[in-house]
Amino acid sequence: MASRRRIGWVVAPALAAIALLALACGSDADEPEAPEAAPEAAVVEEPARVDADEPADESEEQAAAQADPSPADEEPAQATEASAEADPAPPAPPAGDTFLPLDAAVTPFGEPILRDLGAPSHFGRGWRTNFDISLVEYGEILSGGVPRDGIPAIREPRFISIAEADELYVDGSPVLQFTLNGDARAYPLDILIWHEIVEDVVGGVPVAVTYCPLCNTAITFDRTIGGTTYDFGVSGVLRNSDLVMFDRQTESLWQQIGGVAIVGDMVGARLTVLPSTIAAWGDFKAQYPEGIVLSRETGYSRSYGRNPYVGYDDPDNVPFLFRGDIDPRLGAMERVVTLDLPDDAVAYPFALLAERGAVADVRDGRPIVVFWAPGARSALDQAGIAQSREVGATGVFERTVDGRALDFRPNPGDPATFLDEQTESVWNIFGAALSGPLAGAQLTPVVHTDHFWFAWAAFRPDTAVFEG
């Protein structure tokens, strides 16, 4: 119980500080910016507490949103004058305009559909979500302590050059790397940790770049379904501690892990996951010298560079607002890289990858390689992300080039790169051959995601743990 309360003391005030900042900033990104919370707000002695053993209800949500962990540095009066909703509500969806037929009993993926559940009592008041269609019981969905849009998505991102970003970041700073149609972009976790969703258009494709700090899960989605581009925000509720998004067109709820619409008119739909990965800033800038980087000029006042969840990824901690059983095969907060394949789900522990550097496997009949390279720092360790401990970065690729399967090992001359046994060519964490007979070749990326083990196992309890 002590450990659970310690996590509540850290995370609840962090979420409360984020909510206050959203309220203080108001609904218009062009308004004057409000004062930011002190970076130490997440580690005060006696903040409002949320205990993971007790059910969360609307009174807890209100208490968390009103908590002031650092009174000397905040102006609560400003917060009470602003709307909790960061964006105007879209028109209500037409009645009966659902993704699946009204009489559908299961989704195309075989998930049973629950109907006529009625509106939940502990969240969603005033929302126009169609609560009569769902994939989950509403008791599984918990208040995260902030209102809808209390953590504001970035909807009109700005970008800076590699040279400009290099003034802000150290080589180990973690970024989400995403490249599509030759358009390479980095989204620093020190920004994503405060916003969780960035709506962008990359390589001509509308995407949602998402990060859930409570699960350490970064996923990029194509946000177009059936010719309609959807806009997403942070709902303020969680399921299995994971971010639940909502779309502004139908106000359906979407689970980040899996990209599945779990409540509302869009039940039955899934977002397409696009290959992206958490990488070290130094590796990104070396691989993509012409790339661009998400700017801290977001229209919101935040302590970018600071971690509001100090110490959350301590291996001895327990996850926040997680009610499920912890799969005992690994520690709850152990980092894993995962594959979710049509007939297979597998998790590769970071600890094993760090020992080996490169792991060969065959999944779905495809020879693949999982790389691990040192350098990338945790976004959830120290108050200053640049001072946090190294956790490394991963990449997953098909390891066949010109019809030949390659075998890889760490490069003894440079632990951030790899050698293939067949040609001794040098490869980096992004699957690019830097030198040798295969210089210029690019391995085909395999969609993968980094998670804390508890989160992945909650959604895919049937997953295999790779032991080599």
Q: pLDDT tens-digit profile of 226-235?
A: 999 999 999 9
What pLDDT score does 468 carry? 82
**Mean pLDDT for the chain?**
85
Distance, in Å, from the CA atom of 167 to the CA atom of 9, rounded to the nearest integer, reads: 34
From residue 351, alpha-carbon distances to 142, 447, 466 in Å are: 31, 20, 11
Residue 90 has pLDDT above 60, yes or no: no
Residue 425 has pLDDT above 50, yes or no: yes
Contact of 320 with 8, CB cutoff 8 Å: yes
Say what the pTM is: 0.84
- Give the CATH architecture of domain 335-465: 3-layer Sandwich (2.102)
What pLDDT score does 18 carry? 57
Classify 338 as helix, strand or coil.
Answer: strand
What pLDDT score does 60 carry? 36
Residue 41 has pLDDT above 60, yes or no: no
Distance, in Å, from the CA atom of 322 to the CA atom of 181, rounded to the nearest integer, reads: 38
- Please compute the mean of the pLDDT values over residues 413-423 and round it to a whole number: 96
Distance, in Å, from the CA atom of 413 to the CA atom of 353, rounded to the nearest integer, reads: 18
Judge residue 95's burial from the number of C-beta atoms within 10 Å of its C-beta, 0-12 exposed, 13-18 middle, 19 or more buried: exposed
pLDDT digits (tens, 9 = 90+) for 151-209: 999 999 999 999 999 999 999 999 999 999 999 999 999 999 999 999 999 999 999 99
**Phi-psi category of residue 6: left, alpha or beta, with phi > 0 → left and psi -120 to 50 → alpha:** alpha
Q: Give the whole-number percent of the chain exceeding pLDDT 70.
A: 79
pLDDT band at 1 (very low <50, low <70, confident <90, very high): very low
Distance, in Å, from the CA atom of 79 to the CA atom of 65, rounded to the nearest integer, reads: 10
Tokens at residue 289, please? 């010298």
Q: What angle do CA 108, 110, 114 make, to 5 degrees?
A: 100
pLDDT band at 85 (very low <50, low <70, confident <90, very high): very low
What is the greatest pairwise CA distance in the chain?
A: 67
Residue 451 has pLDDT above 80, yes or no: yes
Contact of 29 with 77, CB cutoff 8 Å: no
**Phi-psi category of residue 203: left, alpha or beta, with phi > 0 → left and psi -120 to 50 → alpha:** left
- Please compute the mean of the pLDDT values over residues 6-29 and round it to a whole number: 51
pLDDT digits (tens, 9 = 90+) for 288-340: 999 999 999 999 999 999 999 999 999 999 999 999 999 999 999 999 999 99
What pLDDT score does 76 carry? 29
CA-based nearest residue to 345, from 444, 215, 461: 461
Domain limits, CATH 2.102.10.10, in the chain: 335-465
What pLDDT score does 35 carry? 32
Q: What angle do CA 335, 341, 343 make, to 5 degrees?
A: 125
Contact of 76 with 68, CB cutoff 8 Å: yes
What pLDDT score does 7 carry? 52
What pLDDT score does 98 carry? 85
